[in-house]
Homo-oligomer: A and B are copies of this chain.
Amino acid sequence: MHLVTALDREPRIRSALCLFEGVATGAADGYARIAKRPAMTLLHLGPGYLNGGANLHDARRAFSPTINIIGDHATYHRHLDAPLTSDIETLVKPLSAWTDVVQTPAEAGAKAAAAYAASFGPPGGNAFLILPADSAWSEGGEIGRPAPAPALATPEAALVDEIAKAIKAAKKPAVLLNGDALSASGLSHAARLEAAGVFVLSDTFSVLQRRGTGLYAPTRLPYFGEQALETLTGVDLLVTIGTKHPVAFFAYPGKPSELTPEGAARLSLGGAEINSAVAVEMLAEALGAPRAPAPAAATTPDAPTGALTPEAAGFALARCMPEGAIIADDSVTAGLSILFPTMNAAPHDWLFHTGGAIGQGMPMAVGAAVAAPDRKTIALCGDGAAMYTVQALWTMAREKLDITVVIFANRIYRILMIELARTGAGNPGPTAQSMLSLGDPALDWVKMAQAMGVDAARCETAEDFDRTLARMMAQKGPTLIEAVV
């Protein structure tokens, strides 16, 4: 409460109300990916943290710096086990890069500054500062001295040389990238690696990838393990830069869990703790890699026609989305078909879903739009995923954020139908099918958006989607399309 009233005395803090903590934490992730610095969430005791936990799981997997202030009971009140008491330190542990508890008002400032610095890691992570009520309302506070944010590490030159040597000696060397290596600068050097004969891949779920006209596009490691292994066929050396060696998203009966080809050598220039853009450049230099060839010229695809499929939506996006757009991707099964059509769209940033906890798309868009108010943010959401944090629509309206939400309404948990088949769980009967179906009743996303103050339209054909999207791209402020696919 004291933190809330203090907002009026510190106008440099931009505050935004979210109607569910999962919106706030997902927004903190989106903000961090775009702004490259942490946002702060204010959560209320254990339940407030729990409500925000799933999107903090995703943030952790994106190595996003976040600061989470968790208000707790007064220090002298905790042992009484009042209804809202819980063991917050234990609850946060699995998702925490750093946790501390303010014991006295005097240390609150210094610990807040420490939380800021700690959130950067490297690698970045969730910092939790537990703030008992009496530390907020007692006298004796001192302003903390700003703590410097540590920078990402740079690989040792000797390691770079060793890996360059191994690449030269390999028959089919490959590198797997994530982090800053997928920025415009990182990609320009990644293209040189390819020109030097290296097979260049990016993680299935990248934190942020710059894509579009004029930008080099690494091969994306496929989601399913057997497809990933097929893609890596013949690779005898796999070097990771800004990531780790690949593993399957889930285990499946009789299918491999580790995705580095058997017998291939594994080397690493560093994980998420390094500046992978610099690492790629150093490696390109050590290999004496040539300048990359000029990428293909821009082309605008034809307007899609006929049935509205995710692919048709992808072509419409490629036609309409403005330069500098930010894509917050929680589209689950629809997403695959959108990546290819948008490869040569106007340059844009794609935020992938790093942690697998669905319900991240709209909250992440909120944070991205706050971080970059002059850019258009587009949230791509499965209908099942979007329902997890549907409250985000209200914050978009309240804050007049320049976001267009596309809901792919297939009215089913399609991914679960796929997983069901892959785990060998048998043919689903009517009950199991109904457990995976979002129909009966069908969600009305237009009314849902309007209920929270967001303009919305339903599209059932490719033509209608293309036309509606073009209109929404041309205006500012939040909008939603229910794409019935």
Residue numbers of A with Cβ under 8 A of B are 1-2, 4-5, 7-9, 11, 15, 17, 19-20, 22, 45-48, 50-51, 53-54, 57-58, 61, 73-74, 76-77, 80-84, 86-87, 90-91, 93-95, 133-134, 136-138, 205, 247-251, 253, 257-258, 354-357, 359, 384, 387-388, 390-391, 394, 397-398, 416, 419-420, 423-432, 434-438, 440-448, 450-453
- Tell which of B20, B45, B61, B137 touches A83, judged by Cβ atoms closer than 8 Å: B61
Taking a contact as CB atoms under 8 Å apart, the answer to whether B133 and A5 are in contact is: no
**Which residues of chain B have C-beta atoms less than 8 A from A442's C-beta?**
453
Q: Are A443 and B394 in contact (CB under 8 A)?
A: yes
Is the beta-carbon distance between A248 and B94 smaller than 8 angstroms?
A: no
Cβ distance A392 to chain B, nearest Cβ, rounded Å:
11
Q: For A443, what are the chain B residues with a Cβ–Cβ distance below 8 Å?
A: 394, 451-452
A238 to B253, CA, bound (A): 60
Q: Which of B1, B77, B95, B434 contacts A86 (CB 8 A)?
A: B95
A50: which B residues are within 8 A, CB to CB?
Answer: 50-51, 53-54, 57, 357
Residues in B neighbouring A9, C-beta threshold 8 A: 429
Q: Which residues of B contact A427 (CB under 8 A)?
A: 5
> Given A137-B424, A441-B398, is A434 in contact with B17 using a C-beta cutoff of 8 Å?
yes
Inter-chain CA distance A64–B15, complex, in Å, is 37
Other-chain residue from B250, B391, B426, B432 in contact with A390 (beta carbon distance below 8 A):
B391
| Residue among B91, B133, B357, B426 making CB contact with A251, cutoff 8 Å | B133
Given A83-B356, A87-B94, A354-B83, A436 contacting B4 (CB threshold 8 A):
yes
Nearest-CB distance from A363 to chain B (Å)?
A: 13
Task: Report B-chain residues with C-beta under 8 Å of the C-beta of A76.
Answer: 251, 257
- A423 x B133 contact (CB < 8 A): yes
Please measure, in the bound complex, the distance between the C-alpha atom of A436 and the C-alpha atom of B45, giving whole angstroms: 17
Q: List 29 A-B contacts (CB under 8 A).
A: A4-B420, A4-B436, A5-B427, A8-B429, A8-B430, A11-B431, A17-B434, A19-B388, A19-B438, A45-B356, A46-B53, A46-B94, A48-B54, A51-B359, A84-B356, A87-B94, A91-B91, A133-B250, A133-B423, A134-B251, A134-B253, A138-B253, A390-B390, A390-B391, A398-B441, A444-B450, A444-B451, A444-B452, A447-B450
| A47, A134, A420 pick with most chain B CB within 10 angstroms | A47
**In the complex, residue of chain B having the shortest beta-carbon distance to the beta carbon of A413:** B17
CB <8 Å contact, B51 and A425:
no
A450 to B444, CA, bound (A): 8
User: Which residue of chain B is the closest to A447 with respect to CB atoms?
Assistant: B451
Q: Tell me how far the C-beta of A481 lies from the nearest C-beta in chain B, rounded to whole angstroms.
A: 15
Q: Is the CB of B82 within 8 A of A248?
A: yes
Which B residue sits closest to A417, measured CB to CB?
B1
Chain B residue nearest in CB terms to A80: B247
A425 touches B8 (CB 8 A): no
Tell whether, in the assembled complex, residue A205 and residue B451 are in contact, meaning their CB atoms are under 8 Å apart.
Answer: no
Contact check: which of B83, B253, B357 meets A205 at CB < 8 Å? B83
